Amino acid sequence: MRRLLEYQAERIEMVLASHKVPSHVCGATVTPRFVRFELVPIVGTKVSRIKGLAEEIALSLGIPSCRVFRQGGKINVEIPRETTHTVKLLALCRRLAEIPPCTAVLGLDEEGTPLLLRLPSADVAHVLIAGRTGSGKTELARAMIASLAMYNRLGEVQLVLIDPKGRGFTPFANLPHLLYPMVEDVEGASEVLKRLIVEMEGRDHEKVTQPQVVVFIDELADLMMVGGKKMEHLLTRLLQRGRGAGIHLVACVQKPTVAIIGSLVKSNFPVRIVGSVASPEDAKVASGLAGTGAESLLGRGDFLVIAQGQVMRLQAAHVSGQEIQELTSRLREGGRKSRRWVDEATGTDGRMPLRRLAARLKLVK
């Protein structure tokens, strides 16, 4: 591995030097999916010149593509690894003894640290997951649903699943945490959203936020296109006022265009999780930032998390259909049996204090 990294570093430096952009590779970070080389260019070098050589670097290394971006005083070049590793949700959970209420497990960051998302935080509230087919957005949403169900009781978190495609969330159809039966059509989605707005208004009047309600939508753009202005109005109300009532939205979208979801996305999703997208324009709409390079991500769970103006790399956790079915079955049994199975599956016993845990994970809040 060391020889391969040295060879790749030398090739990167050689390509840049041949185009009169001399730079030095000062280090590398190896992750389950990619290797990130850190470049230190000479003073006065334009970042755009190095970005413009991304195709030449990829050609020299014999890879389909590479991602070039600036971070602090260094320029990073990311290239895919020949052999990749899947981040298993249950195996990842074995590294966590306990997590805060209503907190979803996302996966691993570029340093191999578990990355969690605390939905009730004022800086989170609602989440947009964007990415084209094959990016892994539905798999990430599944991991979030499974982790919320594992670590929260029915009186703490209730889930609403809206799946117009009728495929993404089907394994969770019998999950006991569901507030309503899983919704698979626009008419049903409209009715459920109306009920949630009534619930939100009632909670606002009574000043209550429990239990937390998390609404997952597998294809936001499809819902918007078919539901039209009526659907947009319902979603906007929930997005603007839901957090104060303990109602949060996690929406997946395949084509994040301004024409379809621009008005919703602009100010109502503080956290964006962006996978591989078709173009730099789609990346900008989805992330709210220019130059993230999301169009060059590897797909299959490779994401950028944009929160509070910061960009973090994420390899999303995966949970299989069989694991979901077993989880659902055990949780439906209820009581001590379901709690015991979760402890056995994740390898936890709840005795590790949160203070020690905090040193081993990143919590987006």
Q: Say whether pLDDT at 317 is over 50.
A: yes
Q: Measuring CA to CA, which residue among 291, 295, 249 is closest to residue 275? A: 295
Measured distance CA(332)–CA(257) in Å, rounded: 39
What is the number of domains present in the chain? 2
Instruction: Tell me the CB-side half-sphere exposure of residue 106, using CA atoms within 13 A.
Output: 31
Same domain, 119 and 35: no
Same domain, 356 and 263: yes
Same domain, 256 and 330: yes
Q: Is residue 51 helix, strand or coil? A: helix
Same domain, 257 and 311: yes
Same domain, 49 and 98: no
Same domain, 181 and 199: yes
Instruction: Tell me the CB-side half-sphere exposure of residue 288, using CA atoms within 13 A.
Output: 22
Q: Say whether pLDDT at 265 is over 60.
A: yes
Measured distance CA(214)–CA(34) in Å, rounded: 32
Query: Domain span at residue 178?
Result: 87-364
Tokens 């990143």 sit at which residue? 362
* Digit-coded pLDDT (tens) for 54-70: 889 989 888 888 888 88
Mean pLDDT, rounded, for 347-361: 37
> Average pLDDT, whole number, for the chain?
82
Last residue of one domain, picked from the residues 80, 101, 117: 80
Which domain CATH number covers 330? 3.40.50.300
Q: Measuring CA to CA, which residue among 241, 213, 88, 80 is closest to residue 154? A: 213
* Digit-coded pLDDT (tens) for 149-197: 999 988 899 999 999 887 889 999 999 999 999 999 889 999 999 999 9
User: What tokens appear for 245 in the block?
Assistant: 């009532």
Q: Which residues are paired to 253 by β-bridges? A: 130
Same domain, 297 and 230: yes
Last residue of one domain, picked from the residues 80, 115, 147: 80
Measured distance CA(67)–CA(77) in Å, rounded: 6
Same domain, 142 and 67: no
* Digit-coded pLDDT (tens) for 133-143: 888 899 999 99
Q: Is residue 139 helix, strand or coil? A: helix
